Structure 1
Amino acid sequence: MDKQFIHPMLPQATHDELARQNFVQSLKKHIFQNIAPGNKVIYETVAKPRFEREHQRPPQNRHEIRKVMQQEPQYRWWGALKRLNQEMLWDAVNASVERQLPDLIERAKDKGGELGTLTLDPNFQVPAYETAVDIHCMPGGYHSEFATNDVAAGAIYDRGTYVYGVGWLGPLNDDMGLSIVENYLKPEYPNFQPKKILDMGCSVGHSTLPYVDAYPDADVYAIDIGAPMLRYAHARAEALGKRVHFSQQNAEHTNFADGSFDLVVSHILLHEIPKPAIRNVMHECYRLLAPGGMMIHVEAPLYSHMDAYTAFVYDWETANNNEPFWSAMRDLDLAALVTEAGFASDKVIQKFVPNGAWQAKVSSNNSQNGRLGSRGSWFIVAAIK
């Protein structure tokens, strides 16, 4: 039920490659279930009391907690294992993709009769904030190309996302887009029927395709900075029978006309770009939306939504896992950036949307009754023009 859906573009692992990927998943579960809880115990019984003796007060923020926890062997061991597991993930997936890359490149080529389109810009300049670091330790990030018509980054991301998440985004890795459609847009805006939709920072289109199904009469566009991501995304969408117009663009400044879209969305884009870029994206969304149109940006919770210890745990990604903008974004007042972009303050929405819509979909397809249960929620910042 929760196995990744095998579509024609998905890289196929050999027995040994799959065993290695399964080990990465098992190790991840072990770290999360059996080692991570010990950090809270050490904090409450050792690190926090030591800080209180030294400062005559408890730690007040994630920075103070990290400073005192970095002295603890338990925390250092957990962090080392987490980072090692992340690197092992990419190695395990990369080996499979590299072996079959020529075939994947060939499969991705347009054969005629495509449903959607792919537009790449040979002169496109990838932003320096993306080239400066391999985001979340993925070798080469989203944009690097090592072969003609390269699709490696897309193939690695498609399989790697499933292995990383241990399948929790569903067989098509599409829970973000699907949950926004099924658990937010349809129940809260049943009469909203966008005719033109844009997905910003689409990567391989995991979250894009649910909008194609939800609004079959709409023209769906998707943009990203990475050419290898987009080649793979286009081929994947075609293989799944979905019509999407992919193009290589920076979400800060697109080439679409003013008022072009009724719905503009993004899914975990904001935490991968710096604050000035986030501000530009909000302004661009306002420009692109037609009157009455809506933007929705999907993210994980902000630090204002959590206690200091939980924020400290989240902050590990910035400190140790090549997520330079992860914490800076979570410190922002996103509503202020949205109103600064031109949206009326009473039209700004911040809320949590239940995730797990893919589980209900799988349940329905298997003729079972009811949901299998949500594992949490997605945070959204949205606005209506």
Structure 2
Amino acid sequence: MIPQNMHTMFAKPNHDEASRQDFVNDFRVHLAAKVFPGAFPAYFNRVLPSFIKAQGREPKDRHEVRKVMTKDSYYQLWSAMQRNSQEMIWDSVIDSVERQLPDLLEKAKDLNGKGSLTLNPNVIVPKYHDAADIHLQPGAYHTDSITDDLAAGAVYDRGTYIYSMGGLGPANDGLGRILREFFRKQFPDKKVERALDMGCTIGGSVTYWSTKETGTEFHAIDVGAPCLRYGHARAKAVGGNVNFSQQNAEKTNFPDASFDIVTSHILLHETSVQAIQSIFNECYRLLKPGGVMMHLDLPQVFGQNPLEGFLWEWEIYNNNEHFYGQLRELDLAEVAKKAGFDPAKFKIHQVASSWEDGQTPYSNENFTFPVYVAVK
């Protein structure tokens, strides 16, 4: 794993904490490279023949594979270790953050820089956000434990880096790099005076944008106050210029036609069917005529066969990504149409997940992200 940039707000691990975090990363790499591949012979040598013998045919979809594959001992072994490795990520990071939290709070107060932070204690965290801890991060992204808490953001910064095995780059801004590069290739002459990023968490992606599009006024919203506090301080620490505010992307307080672009970086699969329609509606309302909506998210296609489809959805059932399966079934072109976008101006682009020098978030050179694009 390439070293992560340790900015002023980073919860720097001591020797033992760093060793533990490195072990978790290496364990996850081992599971991905050496253990997970064994699921394929387990299926083809045991599970599939048994299914054919009982049913007289092969499984027709990923749901039928799930019913039998989850009973296989090898799959259970890998799945249990994979789940445990996810819990170990947070266990290995939380100690570092708790030990340094008083210092991080003081640093956040003392940092000078651009941008702003506006919090709203009346914002209601939606059910799809607090019903379960997303990615198993304890307390998810919104839980405050003390006054001016930013622990959730600090944990997220390091934890997601280990989760992606360094695949999002040393600054944890790989998704922002990918989407901005796509935008500038597709809209090379587009002038952007004001931009909004929805569901920003700690703002890693939008902060990168702000360092490259220095003439643009950037806004970023999320419902999680501790992530916004951390994100604001982090942005100042790395030279960003972002105006963070605590808002739900389904309904914001910005005026109509106030942005040239509205983006999100893997937000949609963490929401709900109703929320996605509301988010697209809000994007249409907020965009100026000719403005661009861009949502980078996880693939809707789960694989070319029932087994791959089943394996792809492990995180839905085991890592609290509960809406991801429903996202696969949604016709987002129809969602965009209902929001008011011209169907002829809605496209789904596939972009390479490589942010730089062949680095990819999931160690798969064939992995691509869909970008849902609409022009008002």
Q: TM-score, normalised by structure 2?
A: 0.95
Asked whether the equivalents of residues 169 and 358 of structure 1 are also in contact (C-alpha less than 8 Å), the reply is no
Residue 122 of structure 1 and its aligned partner are, at CA, apart by 1.9
Matched residue, 2:200: 202
For residues 250-261 of structure 1, the aligned pairs below 5 Å read 250-261=248-259
Alignment-derived partner of residue 150 in structure 1: 149
Q: Is the 8 A contact 1:299 1:380 kept in 2?
A: yes
DSSP 3-state at the match of 2:9: coil
Task: Name the SS for the 1:109 alignment partner.
Answer: helix
Structure 1 residue 325, shift from structure 2 partner: 1.0
Cα distance, 1:304 vs. partner? 6.3
In structure 1, give the amino acid aligned to 2:351: V
8 Å CA contact 2:277–2:335 kept in 1: the answer is: yes
Partner of 1:74: 74
Deviation larger for 326-335 or 78-87: 326-335
After superposition, give the CA deviation of every residue in 1:144-165 in whole Å (9 maximum; x if it has no partner): 0111100000000000011111
Supply the AA of the counterpart residue of 2:90.
W
1:258-277 matches, cutoff 5 A:
258-277=256-275
Secondary structure of the corresponding residue to residue 282 of structure 2? helix
DSSP 3-state at the match of 1:118 = strand
Classify 1:345/1:306 alpha carbon distance in 2 versus 1 (closer, same or farther; 3 Å): farther
Task: Return the match for 1:377 from 347, 361, 368.
Answer: 368
Superposition deviation, residue 375 in structure 1 = 6.4
Question: Structure 1 runs of 4+ off > 4 angstroms?
Answer: none
Is the CA contact 2:257–2:288 (under 8 Å) kept in the aligned structure 1? yes
Instruction: Measure, in 1, the Cα distance between the counterparts of 2:308 and 2:282.
Output: 32
5+ residue gaps, structure 2, are none
2:302/2:312 contact within 8 Å kept? no
- Alpha-carbon distance in 2 for matches of 1:305, 1:76: 21
| Number of the residue aligned with 1:366 | none
- Alignment correspondent of 2:342: 344
Q: Distance in 2 between matches of 1:89 and 1:276?
A: 31
Q: Could you say which residue in structure 2 is the equivalent of 1:42? A: 42
Tell me what 2:103 maps to: 103
Match of 1:22 in 2: 22
| Aligned counterparts of 2:217 and 2:82: Cα–Cα separation in 1 | 41
What's the CA shift string for 1:7-42, capped at 9, x where partnerless? 100100010000000110111011111111111111
- Residue 234 of structure 1: how far off its partner (Å): 0.2
Q: Which runs of 5+ in 1 are unaligned?
A: 362-372
Normalised by the length of structure 1, the TM-score is: 0.93
The corresponding residue for 2:52 is 52
Distance between the aligned counterparts of 1:341 and 1:271, measured in 2? 18
1:173 corresponds to which residue?
172
2:94 corresponds to:
94
Q: Which residue number corresponds to residue 65 of structure 1?
A: 65
Does the aligned pair in 2 maintain the 1:303–1:331 contact within 8 Å? Answer: no
Distance in 2 (CA, whole Å) between partners of 1:281 and 1:85 is 33
Q: Counterpart of 1:172 in 2: which secondary structure? A: coil
- Three-state SS of the structure 2 residue aligned to 1:303 is coil
Q: Which residue of 1 aligns with 2:286?
A: 288
1:191 to 181, 189, 192: 189
What's the secondary structure of 1:168's corresponding residue? coil
> Does the CA contact (< 8 Å) of 2:196 and 2:218 recur in 1?
yes
More divergent stretch after superposition (277-286 vs 42-51):
42-51
SS at 2:221's partner residue?
strand
Instruction: Tell me the residue number matched to 1:8.
Output: 8
Give the AA of the match of 2:273: K
- The answer to whether the 8 Å contact 1:174/1:358 transfers is no
Q: What is the letter of the counterpart of residue 185 of structure 2?
A: P
Helix, strand or coil at the partner of 1:254: coil
What CA distance in whole angstroms lies between the structure 2 residues aligned with 1:257 and 1:358? 37
For 2:113, the equivalent position in structure 1 comes to 114
The Cα shift of 1:74 comes to 0.4
**Secondary structure at the counterpart of residue 337 of structure 1:** helix
> How far apart in 1 are the matches of 2:83 and 2:353?
26
CA contact (8 A) 2:125 2:223 kept: yes
CA drift of 1:175 comes to 1.0
1:90 CA drift (Å): 0.4
- In the alignment of these two chains, the number of paired residues is 372
Instruction: Verify the 8 A CA contact 1:205 1:237 in the aligned structure 2.
Output: yes
